[in-house]
Amino acid sequence: MMTAKATSLDVARLAGVSQSAVSRVFSGASASKSTALKVRKAADELGYRPNSLARAMITGKSRIIGLVVAYLDNQFYPVALERLSNALKEQGYHILVFMAENAQDSISNVVQELIDYQVDGIITASVAMSSDLTQRCAVAGIPVVMFNRGQDGSGHSSITSANVEGGRRVADFLARAGHKRIAHIAGWEGSSTGRDRRRGFIEGLMDHNFEPLDVLDGMFDRDVASQAARTLMARADAPDAIFVGNDHMAFAVMDTLRHELGCKIPQDVSVIGYDDVPLAQWAAYDLTTLRQPVRRMVEATVETLIGKIEDPERPAQKIEIDGPLIARGSARKPEGWTQ
Amino acid sequence: MMTAKATSLDVARLAGVSQSAVSRVFSGASASKSTALKVRKAADELGYRPNSLARAMITGKSRIIGLVVAYLDNQFYPVALERLSNALKEQGYHILVFMAENAQDSISNVVQELIDYQVDGIITASVAMSSDLTQRCAVAGIPVVMFNRGQDGSGHSSITSANVEGGRRVADFLARAGHKRIAHIAGWEGSSTGRDRRRGFIEGLMDHNFEPLDVLDGMFDRDVASQAARTLMARADAPDAIFVGNDHMAFAVMDTLRHELGCKIPQDVSVIGYDDVPLAQWAAYDLTTLRQPVRRMVEATVETLIGKIEDPERPAQKIEIDGPLIARGSARKPEGWTQ
DNA sequence: TCCCTTTTTGCATACGAATGCACAAACCTT
DNA sequence: AAGGTTTGTGCATTCGTATGCAAAAAGGGA
């Protein structure tokens, strides 16, 4: 039983070779069969493993990706986190996770700390970057990819679903199902996803010569969304359909409608969400929603980020990935609708 | 606009002092007002920040904690992750997250990689460590704290809720509510939490001279738990109450009971879970459950881990934290029950 | 077998910050 | 003002690994 962790020098001595030889064996550089064998044997004996930190120091690559995430209570993010983690692991990267409240200086601190740790890249999930931060990352040469949030003119790549198109599709679905008084509890106005879905939704209604009955900002928050639902249903011309800016809020809205206001879904009101988190298909909610294709979004995110790490010259890209509307039981379906 | 990140040497030159002076200013060691001022000014000018990796190399402390987590789809863990992250951040630590399937060699790889990154400590959430791994951590001098999972004889500290007592309390609650045919869909038999809750539950029933109608292993899995519910309800003497080993499975059970088997909860069957995740109080479920006091568990975890990091001689401790039964609408209440 | 090319190998140095040591400066004390 | 003490500072070294360079070994061709 060893008492201290062995270094490459220890291995070198035991194997009767130089430290550089050991390094080369473990970093995959050229080495003869015979030395590789000796080194491996000695290493096993000592329980040696290269020190990732030291390696990072010298190569300038830590193989760590920083992940900044804000809303962990929204099931979409744990799922995305898991997928991102697995995808990056396959590429030999690891994830340093930072929680941030969605406030500028919190994010600023968090990103600065990531820079201090010399991460090779940063993924922000539903978090915006100030231009100052953008600048700092640029100086440090750290590429940033924004997941599920776009930001014009930031110079960062972003991966989102096709939110405008998605909103439009929801509108079309509801209009074709014969709804007349259609309201929207939108995602936070300060986010591109919230704005885009909203815009697409309104445009989509316009295509049917409709106007939304009302549009309220749900701030991606359960309580705010519930309150918005109460407000809507208190109207004399209460809506017969509500499009909610994401599933997380939609669940709160459904709970409020059913258990507090005594509405039947979808008989009295249709409810549609956005994301298609796993919860959406649980029988208790059975939520009709626009699916964000997490798997493909994650793939695109990882590929974009690693591409930029390996070739810093690669220009930023904005990728939008389309997703289908998943019709379930929370919303009346248009005549002749086939999934 | 700088083009490359500045080092302490750059700052030293600009400030007209030695590199050691810069280091001392930033590491809080002694330095005169005047040099501190010069250094700070120069550092600001260059946008200098100490390189955490280099710092980690020399001090031997990375200020990174590794977190190994398995079931991210169970809302308990995202919540715990968020709390852990915040608590550690306050202590100046950061979290390197690793997902692991609950299979020995996956965990083994993951822990090994954490060791490679020289983490100062490891927290495992609902994951067991093989004795080989335990050994490797010991050699590397890395303390391990197990969160929400105990393991006898591992030599690691563990923080759990008082699972035996909790199971007992659930049994008492159901028996006193007048239930006669009480079944249990248990947490995975391979986990201490699953076993302890189950044991406490059975003991608690025995105190009332009851026996459980049946005990099935739900494997902490929604599908397995749903299947178990079907099995139970297919019996001639179907249960009038089911204690489910955690909330995550309880939701699946409730969905199955209500929407597939047409049962009324709690009129036909009472359902009780374990954890009290945020979802449990959503109106759709309104789940009676035994609360795991996450906040206090997290505090204890962080304190135990940091204590051991700062004083490696400190012996391992097993901490159990008691939590209350939260009576909601999914289970009939005993006569005269007051929260 | 000899010379030329290719592959291995060791040496020395670098990465960026922290720290023991010895010396210089500042502060007290009487 | 001299001696003693505390505080501040620079020099040199260290952490563990990777890598350019030059020398050594191995391989190949005629």
Structure confidence by residue, pLDDT tens digits, A306-339: 999 999 889 999 999 999 999 999 999 998 888 6
How many angstroms from the chain centroid is the CA of residue A146? 8
Q: Which of A2, A85, A278 sits opposite B97 (nearest CB)?
A: A85
Q: Which of A56, A79, A252 sits opposite B53 (nearest CB)?
A: A56
Distance CA A22 to C1' C1 in A: 36
Do the chains contact at B72 and A82, CB–CB below 8 Å? yes
* Lowest model confidence (mean pLDDT) among A39-48, A150-159, A264-273, B314-323: A150-159
Residue B62: its chain A contacts at CB < 8 A?
A: 53
Number of CB pairs < 8 Å for A and B?
143
Say whether pLDDT at B103 is over 80: no
**How many Cα atoms are found within 13 Å in the side-chain-facing hemisphere of A136?**
22
Query: pLDDT band for position A67 (50/70/90)?
Result: very high
Q: Which of B2, B86, B136 sits opposite A139 (nearest CB)?
A: B2
Cα–Cα dist A27/A19, whole Å: 12
Looking at the structure, do residues B225 and B136 belong to the same domain, yes or no?
no
Looking at the structure, do residues B176 and B105 belong to the same domain, yes or no?
no
Select the residue from B48, B52, B88 to test the A interface by mutation, using most A Cβ atoms within 10 A.
B52
Shortest alpha-carbon distance between residue B338 and chain A (Å): 23
Q: Scanning every residue of chain A, which has its alpha carbon at the shortest distance from the alpha carbon of B63? A: A117
Beta bridge mates, B125: B69, B147
Q: List the structure tokens of B176.
A: 């006193």
Confidence at residue B210, expressed as pLDDT on a 0 to 100 scale:
94
Query: pLDDT band for position A240 (50/70/90)?
Result: very high
B105 assigned to some structural domain: yes
Strand order in the sheet with A288-291: A214-217, A182-186, A241-244, A270-275, A288-291, A325-326
Q: List the structure tokens of A50.
A: 């290269």
B187 backbone dihedrals φ, ψ, rounded to 5°: -70, 165
Q: List the structure tokens of B23.
A: 């280091």
Report CA dihedral (B20, B23, B27, B32) to the nearest 10 degrees. Answer: 60
Average pLDDT over all residues of chain A:
93
Assess contact for B329 and B339: CB atoms under 8 A: no
Say whether pLDDT at B3 is over 90: no
Distance CA A66 to C1' C20 in A: 36
Stated as kind and residue range, the H or E segment containing B63 is: none
Query: pLDDT band for position A70 (50/70/90)?
Result: confident
Confidence at residue A153, expressed as pLDDT on a 0 to 100 scale:
80
Assess contact for A107 and A68: CB atoms under 8 A: yes
Q: Scanning every residue of chain B, which has its alpha carbon at the shortest distance from the alpha carbon of A277? A: B73
Say whether pLDDT at A32 is over 50: yes
Q: Scanning every residue of chain B, which has its alpha carbon at the shortest distance from the alpha carbon of A139? A: B3
Q: Scanning every residue of chain B, which has its alpha carbon at the shortest distance from the alpha carbon of A137? A: B5
Say whether pLDDT at A4 is over 80: no
Taking the stretch 16-45 of protein chain A, residues with Cβ within 7 Å of any atom in nucleic acid chain D are 19-20, 23-24, 26-27, 29
Looking at the structure, do residues A288 and A176 belong to the same domain, yes or no?
yes
Distance CA A5 to C1' C9 in A: 26
Q: DSSP alpha helices (H): ranges in chain A?
A: 8-15, 19-27, 33-46, 52-59, 76-90, 104-116, 131-140, 163-176, 192-207, 222-233, 247-255, 294-310
Structure confidence by residue, pLDDT tens digits, B272-321: 999 999 999 999 999 999 999 999 999 999 999 999 999 988 999 999 99
Residue B86: its chain A contacts at CB < 8 A?
A: 99
Beta bridge mates, A144: A122
Structure confidence by residue, pLDDT tens digits, B248-266: 999 999 999 999 999 999 9
Select the residue from A10, A52, A88, A115 to test the B interface by mutation, using most B Cβ atoms within 10 A.
A52
A76 or B339, which is more confident:
A76
CA distances from B56 to A160, B10, B48, B330 (A): 36, 20, 17, 51
Say whether pLDDT at A96 is over 80: yes
Cα–Cα dist B226/A269, whole Å: 29
Query: pLDDT band for position B197 (50/70/90)?
Result: very high
A53 assigned to some structural domain: no
Confidence at residue A40, expressed as pLDDT on a 0 to 100 scale:
92
The residues, ordered by sequence, that sit 6+ positions from B38 with a Cβ below 8 Å of its Cβ are B15, B16, B17
Distance CA A119 to C1' C18 in A: 22
Cα–Cα dist A320/A166, whole Å: 11
B337 assigned to some structural domain: no
Shortest alpha-carbon distance between residue B270 and chain A (Å): 17
Q: What percent of chain B has pLDDT over 90?
A: 80
Which nucleotide in the DNA or RNA is closest to residue B34, CA to C1'? Answer: D8
Number of compact structural domains in chain A: 3
Looking at the structure, do residues B150 and B298 belong to the same domain, yes or no?
yes
B128 or A14, which is more confident:
A14
B30 assigned to some structural domain: yes
Confidence at residue B1, expressed as pLDDT on a 0 to 100 scale:
43
Looking at the structure, do residues A156 and A170 belong to the same domain, yes or no?
no
Shortest alpha-carbon distance between residue A57 and chain B (Å): 7
A233 backbone dihedrals φ, ψ, rounded to 5°: -75, -15
Looking at the structure, do residues A154 and A229 belong to the same domain, yes or no?
no
Looking at the structure, do residues B229 and B193 belong to the same domain, yes or no?
yes
The average pLDDT across B215-239 equals 97
Do the chains contact at B282 and A116, CB–CB below 8 Å? no
Give DSSP secondary structure letters for A197-232: HHHHHHHHHHHTT---SEEEE-TT-HHHHHHHHHHH
Do the chains contact at A284 and B56, CB–CB below 8 Å? no
Cα–Cα dist B74/B10, whole Å: 49
CA distances from A103 to A100, A106, A142 (A): 8, 5, 22
Stated as kind and residue range, the H or E segment containing B56 is: helix B52-59
Looking at the structure, do residues A72 and A134 belong to the same domain, yes or no?
yes
Shortest alpha-carbon distance between residue A248 and chain B (Å): 11
Cα–Cα dist B44/B224, whole Å: 58
A266 or A29, which is more confident:
A266
Confidence at residue B290, expressed as pLDDT on a 0 to 100 scale:
98
Distance CA B109 to C1' C6 in A: 38
The average pLDDT across A248-265 equals 97
Say whether pLDDT at A243 is over 70: yes
Residue B78: its chain A contacts at CB < 8 A?
A: 72-73, 75, 77-78
Do the chains contact at A52 and B79, CB–CB below 8 Å? no
Select the residue from B8, B61, B62, B72 to test the A interface by mutation, using most A Cβ atoms within 10 A.
B72
B310 or A30, which is more confident:
B310
Residue A139: its chain B contacts at CB < 8 A?
A: 1-3, 5, 47
CB-based burial, A286-301: b 16+ in 10 Å, e otherwise? bbbbbbbbbeebbbbb
* Longest pairwise C-alpha distance within chain A: 88
Position B236: which residue type? A
Looking at the structure, do residues A36 and A153 belong to the same domain, yes or no?
no
Distance CA A17 to C1' C18 in A: 30
Confidence at residue A2, expressed as pLDDT on a 0 to 100 scale:
46
Do the chains contact at A97 and B85, CB–CB below 8 Å? yes
Strand order in the sheet with B241-244: B214-217, B182-186, B241-244, B270-275, B288-291, B325-326
Taking the stretch 53-112 of protein chain A, residues with Cβ within 7 Å of any atom in nucleic acid chain D are 54-55, 57-59
Integer-rounded Cα Rg, in Å, for chain A is: 25
Q: What percent of chain B has pLDDT over 70?
A: 99
Assess contact for A50 and B116: CB atoms under 8 A: yes
A144 assigned to some structural domain: yes
Q: List the structure tokens of A238.
A: 């209460």
Cα–Cα dist B160/B197, whole Å: 11
Integer-rounded Cα Rg, in Å, for chain B is: 25
Q: List the structure tokens of B34.
A: 């005047």
**CATH number of the domain that residue A137 is part of:** 3.40.50.2300
Domain span including residue B31 = 8-46
Confidence at residue B2, expressed as pLDDT on a 0 to 100 scale:
46
Looking at the structure, do residues A253 and A313 belong to the same domain, yes or no?
no
Looking at the structure, do residues B170 and B273 belong to the same domain, yes or no?
yes
Residue B283: its chain A contacts at CB < 8 A?
A: 255-256, 258-260
Structure confidence by residue, pLDDT tens digits, A194-210: 999 999 999 999 999 99
Say whether pLDDT at A120 is over 50: yes
A239 assigned to some structural domain: yes
Pairing of strands B94-99, A94-99: antiparallel
Say whether pLDDT at B52 is over 60: yes
**How many Cα atoms are found within 13 Å in the side-chain-facing hemisphere of B327?**
15
Beta bridge mates, A216: A185
* CB atoms inside a 10 Å sphere around CB A9: 11
The average pLDDT across A95-109 equals 85
A178 assigned to some structural domain: yes
Confidence at residue B339, expressed as pLDDT on a 0 to 100 scale:
65
Measured CA angle at A185 (ends A184, A190), to 5 deg: 115
Assess contact for A246 and A70: CB atoms under 8 A: no
Say whether pLDDT at A125 is over 80: yes
Confidence at residue B336, expressed as pLDDT on a 0 to 100 scale:
86
Burial of A173 (0-12, 13-18, 19+ CB in 10 A): buried
Looking at the structure, do residues B173 and B276 belong to the same domain, yes or no?
yes
B98 or A229, which is more confident:
A229
* Lowest model confidence (mean pLDDT) among A2-11, A19-28, B314-323: A2-11
Q: DSSP alpha helices (H): ranges in A47-162?
A: 52-59, 76-90, 104-116, 131-140
CA distances from A144 to A30, A320, B195 (A): 34, 17, 45
B188 assigned to some structural domain: yes
Residue B117: its chain A contacts at CB < 8 A?
A: 52-53, 64, 94
Shortest alpha-carbon distance between residue B38 and chain A (Å): 22
Query: Among B181, B190, B233, which Cα is nearest to B212's?
Result: B181
Shortest alpha-carbon distance between residue B131 and chain A (Å): 14
